[in-house]
A and B are shown apart, each in its own frame.
Chain A
Amino acid sequence: MKENGEHTGFALCTGCSIGEALNGESLSGAARKLLPSLKCTNHPALCSEEGMEHLTEFVRKNRLSRLALAACSPRVHQDRFRFENVDLERINLREQVAWSMEPGHEDTRMCAEDQVRMGLAGLAGRTESNSYIPEIQSTEILVLGGGIAGMTAALEGADAGYAVHLVEMEQELGGHMRRIVSPDAFSGKRDRSPVQEMKDRVVQVQAHPGISIHTSSTIGSIAGEPGNFSVEIRNGNPERLSVGAIVLATGWTPYEARNLKHLGYGLKGVHTLEEFEDLLFQDDVPGSVLFVLCAGSRDREHLPYCSSYCCSAALKQVLHVRKRNPGSQVYVVYRDIRTPGFQEELYKQVQEDEGVFMTKGLVDVVENGNGRLRTGIKDTLLGEDVLIETDAVVLATGMVPRKTDALELQYRKGKGLPELAHGFSDSHFICFPYETRRTGICAAGTVRAPLDMVSCLEDATGAMMKAIQCVECVKRGESVHPRAGDTSYPELYMERCTDCKRCTEECPFGSYDQNEKGTPLPHPARCRRCGICLGSCPERVIGFSDFSINMVSSAIKAVEVPDEFEEKPRVLVFLCENDAYPALDAAGIARLKISPFVRVIPVRCLGSINKVWISDALSHGYDGILQIGCKPGDDYQCHFIHGSQLTEDRAENLKETLETMMLEPERIRTRFVEISEKERIAEIINEYVEEVEMLGPNPFKSL
């Protein structure tokens, strides 16, 4: 410990029943036992104006550089309890002690005293905080892909005053929308025509002084980190750029129609939507045509998802055919017509057209017959199978996101963005749709998920906002989402590193590259501050100024473990601060009872738990260790992608460690909760404590 506590303060709030549940004198006494020169104070309502005045004076008078605040949850009054140049540690005596344990009971007192000691020990272990700002900082932004999404992103970013480089592999900008018929049918009477907008956009992009256009160009390589990406562009003469962030808008390709032989692809007159659009563009309009919707989409054998755009795109072609050839006969075979929002108007127009016959059904076969194409349809609503002969058949094939390898990232963890199922590159796509696993690289438009055109425009604008935000955060030395504003970053004590590569492997964000020996090369601006690398490191090389091996170890050891004869178990509970910790707070607010035998340590992510803490706890005499985090799996809720999954995997290995220590595997338990499950988290904790009581004391206790 750095000092005896001379410039450390301990402030206890006795409001909100804390004063009734606990004895302030005993808490200050316990704290002083740890740090003899500790300055102590208390107040019946620290958060009130009078309380804040009292606290500010307490800090000033004692020239405090560190303050442990034993009061409500750190999630409360964060904006009030801020003191310049003072390291603040919040000790949660309200929600997680006074409100959830029996007031005045000896066990409650012991829990509170331990939590105070743990807070103070952690506080003493903090090191000087620095922030990381890359030496070279660019605020320019690279947009990869010159379709509607890429052009939109480029224009919107340039309009906000950021220099943009737009890279497109084709000779011309415009992407899929360069050759398109009757585009205005999409927009109904409501939105501006997205296609007109696209045409305007090409002109605007070309004229914008803030955008440099690189057509017929691809990416040779991208290295570095947000604020300082070094980009090599290939177009004859390789060109080097330095950019701060990247928008990836490389779009989509149609699903491979050759996989759809059962729908007649390969026969003359059978086209994909894209191919048919080209024919219509050349004004080659057939006399009769049958559209097969969901050709490959919503099909476990092909694309299990809905491609979102094909219903509207096909209906638009239907209207075009009918307009160009009023004598034409058009058939549409669908499963469900999906025209959400105002696209419903397009559907209504088609329904009102007597030259269009629509049926729900499944296309069984498309074959040649009588010199025309014959389509067999089953499961129709007419109750019988139907055969229809037409000159042409159009397969509404779906959208497949392009591979993100075109980024050519020189990252140890690969050239592209990590993907979820079916090639979607976003991670928390409901709440945080721009969050990819490569910081500063924002996916926009159909490269991420099937989208219609209007959605693409909005999507691209939002992606540019996130790219700009990343550049601004890097300038301030702050992390981006979800630990936005965090200036701490992982610092490595390289002398002890054994090049084991675990940090480089387990970081979900690819923050670490490595040299040929396997030595990690950290890129802190890529880091999202989850601490998974800290948890992964067997040599305890990695730490943050306010979250380190030493801090947590000291906190663990600050607990006074009673000897085995008292029959009072001690259970160490690591709680993920994102979901499990708020859930336990909510349990306290609901006054659910929690066993007073638990000692809680919040962690940045379950994946940040280092196994040395487990052995520290076991050798210190804790009887059980419970780790509670967010749900893993396909629909993971872990805010750092696979932190909770990693913990579960590591727990398996820990069991072997336990065996060698001759301890029962039940002494470590990993559980997952949703943030809304306050009853369940209380149950998990209480049941585990009971189970540990049954196990009996940890044999290392009295050693």
Chain B
Amino acid sequence: MNSEYPILVVGGGIAGITATVELAEAGHQVVLIEREPYLGGNVGKLNNYFPKMCPPECGLEINYQRIRSNPRISYYTGAELTSLSGSPGEFSAEISLSARLINNRCTACGNCAEVCPEVRDASGFLSSTLRAAYMPGGLSFPMKYTIDEAFCRKEECGLCLPVCEFDAIHLEARPGTVMLQVHRVILATGWSAYDASRLEGFSYEHPDVVTNLEFDQMLAAENRGLQKLTRISDGEPVKRIAFVQCAGSRDENHLPYCSAVCCSASVKQSLTLAESHPEIETEIFYIDLRLSGRNEMLLDKAVHTGSIRLTKGKVGKVTRDPKTNRLEVEVEDIRLNSKRKENVDLVVLATGLVPNRLSIPVPVDEHGFIQWDGREGIFPAATCKRPMDVSTSVKDATAAALKTIQSG
């Protein structure tokens, strides 16, 4: 069914991108909006995918190419859905746009970032390489620079203004709003890592205790030549790493569900290390190792590397030895039926998936996952619905795409 109005896809991570290109290639008009300045969402920040250990940019670039070459797609980044009214076939969507300090005249020449003096603390790991005026990488989409308002001193500084040859920088720019009439809506708003500071006794405040998502970004930074992997606290080399599985997941006090991806992610990360840092000892502490389907082959590989220890046991706490400032992991080793303590340089908390909240009212369960409530015309897709991996998200997004072109 072709309507005169486009389909609105909310969220430019892998699910939203997929829904967009699949619909557009089937002949439908689509508008994609993304909250952040660039498409790619969480996967765009990952080092690699399990189980093929391949870079996410590979599939993303193909999808970006599909977006670039398809006249049926339009997109807004720095854009959030702030209100949705009306009914299927003629929804009115209000979309707020962040201030365009750098507008579409930007050619990605990079002069602004060259002179920008303000360091931007993007993830805590790339702080030395990213300025307030930045583009995350050479494969970013859209290929233009952004100024992070939170770190820009605007007219007080203004160093970027004279170096821009294209009149693309407007430090006085204000946020805006667009109103769109849309036919159907796909919500692909994705997930965030569970807030590790809520895990008592895991010393997340210590700089060498990181979440799995943060650790993937550290690996990504190293593999893309941005920053070497070291102890964050003092820059010393990393010799031992502990992975704490189910950090919050399968836990009545935090997330009672299994987050479905963290086991495969930790095994992936330890295999990545086994390749790039064979000198680093890794140990994974788990309740059950859940690598479903062909991800199992990754576990098989890890078991046979010999350098990765897999220990069934729940980590009770992570503490800092005040004398040495080193981290100590206390674990109930189930096989040995005893407690043991391990000194490590880095602790990776395999925190689970929590669905992102929307700024419009949607029916959610007690954890914030969007519940299908039978309301016509709005379809949740992928990790805002339940925890799932990339491949499942892609499938679910493709499925949601079909739902939007059915009548009724």
Residues of A within 8 A of B (CB): 15-17, 44-45, 47-49, 72, 75-76, 78-79, 156-157, 159-161, 190, 297-298, 300, 304-308, 336-345, 348, 360, 381, 383, 422, 424, 428-434, 449-451, 455, 458-466, 468-469, 472-473, 476, 480-482, 484-485, 578-579, 582, 585-590, 630-631, 635, 637, 639, 674-676, 678-679
Please, which residues of chain A bring their CB within 8 A of the CB of B260?
Answer: 340-341
Please, which residues of chain A bring their CB within 8 A of the CB of B61?
Answer: 578-579, 582, 675
Q: How many A-B residue pairs have CB under 8 A?
A: 247
Question: Are A484 and B26 also in contact (CB < 8 A) when A15-B165, A160-B405 are?
Answer: no
Given contacts A430-B59, A455-B392, 16 further A-B contacts (CB under 8 A): A45-B165, A75-B65, A79-B71, A156-B402, A156-B406, A160-B402, A307-B293, A341-B259, A434-B395, A455-B395, A458-B392, A465-B399, A468-B26, A472-B25, A582-B61, A676-B224
Question: Are A430 and B223 also in contact (CB < 8 A) when A16-B107, A465-B22, A674-B54 are?
Answer: no
Let me know if B68 is at the binding interface, CB within 8 A: yes
User: Would you list the 10 A-B pairs with minimal beta carbon distance, nearest first?
Assistant: A586-B138, A431-B59, A462-B398, A461-B399, A589-B138, A465-B402, A340-B260, A336-B288, A676-B55, A306-B296
Q: Which of A47, A78, A429 lies in contact with B107, CB distance below 8 A? A: A47
Binding-face segment, B150-158, B236-244, B316-324, B382-390: B382-390
Please, which residues of chain B bring their CB within 8 A of the CB of A305?
Answer: 293-294, 296-297
How many B residues, CB 8 Å from partner? 81
Question: Are A306 and B399 also in contact (CB < 8 A) when A340-B258, A674-B58 are?
Answer: no
Q: Which of A157, A337, A338, A473 lies in contact with B25, CB distance below 8 A? A: A473
Please, which residues of chain A bring their CB within 8 A of the CB of B139?
Answer: 582, 585-586, 675-676
B47: nearest chain-A partner, CB-CB = A676
* CB pair B394 A433 closer than 8 Å: yes
A106 to chain B, nearest CB (A): 24
CA distance A72 to B62 in the complex (A): 19
Question: Are A341 and B165 also in contact (CB < 8 A) when A433-B395, A482-B62, A675-B58 are?
Answer: no
B336: nearest chain-A partner, CB-CB = A383
A586 to chain B, nearest CB (A): 3
A565 to chain B, nearest CB (A): 38
CA distance A326 to B293 in the complex (A): 33
Please, which residues of chain B bring their CB within 8 A of the CB of A430?
Answer: 49, 52, 54, 59, 390-391, 394
Let me know if B306 is at the binding interface, CB within 8 A: no
Please, which residues of chain A bring their CB within 8 A of the CB of B137?
Answer: 586
Question: Are A462 and B396 also in contact (CB < 8 A) when A79-B71, A336-B289 are?
Answer: yes
A478: nearest chain-B partner, CB-CB = B25
Please, which residues of chain B bring their CB within 8 A of the CB of A160?
Answer: 1, 402, 405-407
Please, which residues of chain A bring their CB within 8 A of the CB of B232?
Answer: none
Please, which residues of chain A bring their CB within 8 A of the CB of B55?
Answer: 674-676
B356 to chain A, nearest CB (A): 17
CA distance A381 to B52 in the complex (A): 32
Q: Which of B57, B110, B289, B391 lies in contact with A589, CB distance below 8 A? A: B110
Within B5-61, which residues are at the interface with A (CB < 8 Å)?
A: 14, 21-22, 25-27, 49, 52-55, 57-61
CA distance A484 to B394 in the complex (A): 17
Residues of B within 8 A of A (CB): 1, 14, 21-22, 25-27, 49, 52-55, 57-63, 65-66, 68-71, 105, 107-110, 135, 137-139, 143, 165-166, 223-225, 250, 256-260, 288-297, 300, 312, 334-335, 337, 365, 386-388, 390-392, 394-399, 401-403, 405-408
A523 to chain B, nearest CB (A): 20
B137: nearest chain-A partner, CB-CB = A586
Query: What are 27 A-B residue pairs whose CB atoms fall within 8 Å in the complex?
Result: A45-B165, A156-B399, A159-B407, A190-B386, A305-B294, A336-B289, A339-B258, A340-B258, A340-B290, A342-B386, A360-B312, A431-B60, A455-B392, A458-B392, A462-B402, A465-B398, A465-B399, A465-B402, A468-B405, A469-B26, A472-B25, A473-B25, A480-B25, A482-B65, A484-B70, A631-B54, A635-B54
Please, which residues of chain B bring their CB within 8 A of the CB of A360?
Answer: 312
CA distance A579 to B61 in the complex (A): 8
A307: nearest chain-B partner, CB-CB = B293
Question: Are A308 and B293 also in contact (CB < 8 A) when A15-B109, A469-B25, A675-B139 are?
Answer: yes
B75 to chain A, nearest CB (A): 10
A679: nearest chain-B partner, CB-CB = B225
* CB pair B107 A449 closer than 8 Å: no
* CB pair B58 A76 closer than 8 Å: no
* CB pair B57 A675 closer than 8 Å: yes
CA distance A44 to B289 in the complex (A): 58
Question: Are A381 and B312 also in contact (CB < 8 A) when A340-B258, A450-B293 are?
Answer: yes
* CB pair A304 B394 closer than 8 Å: no
B287 to chain A, nearest CB (A): 8
* CB pair B394 A432 closer than 8 Å: yes
B310 to chain A, nearest CB (A): 10
Please, which residues of chain A bring their CB within 8 A of the CB of B291?
Answer: 306
A589 to chain B, nearest CB (A): 4
Please, which residues of chain A bring their CB within 8 A of the CB of B406?
Answer: 156, 159-161
* CB pair B59 A432 closer than 8 Å: yes
B52: nearest chain-A partner, CB-CB = A635
A396 to chain B, nearest CB (A): 14
Please, which residues of chain B bring their CB within 8 A of the CB of A422?
Answer: 294
B166: nearest chain-A partner, CB-CB = A45
Please, which residues of chain B bring their CB within 8 A of the CB of A485?
Answer: 25, 66, 69-70
* CB pair B290 A338 closer than 8 Å: yes
B90 to chain A, nearest CB (A): 20
Please, which residues of chain A bring their CB within 8 A of the CB of B105?
Answer: 45, 47-49
Please, which residues of chain A bring their CB within 8 A of the CB of B297?
Answer: 304-305
B390 to chain A, nearest CB (A): 6
A632 to chain B, nearest CB (A): 12
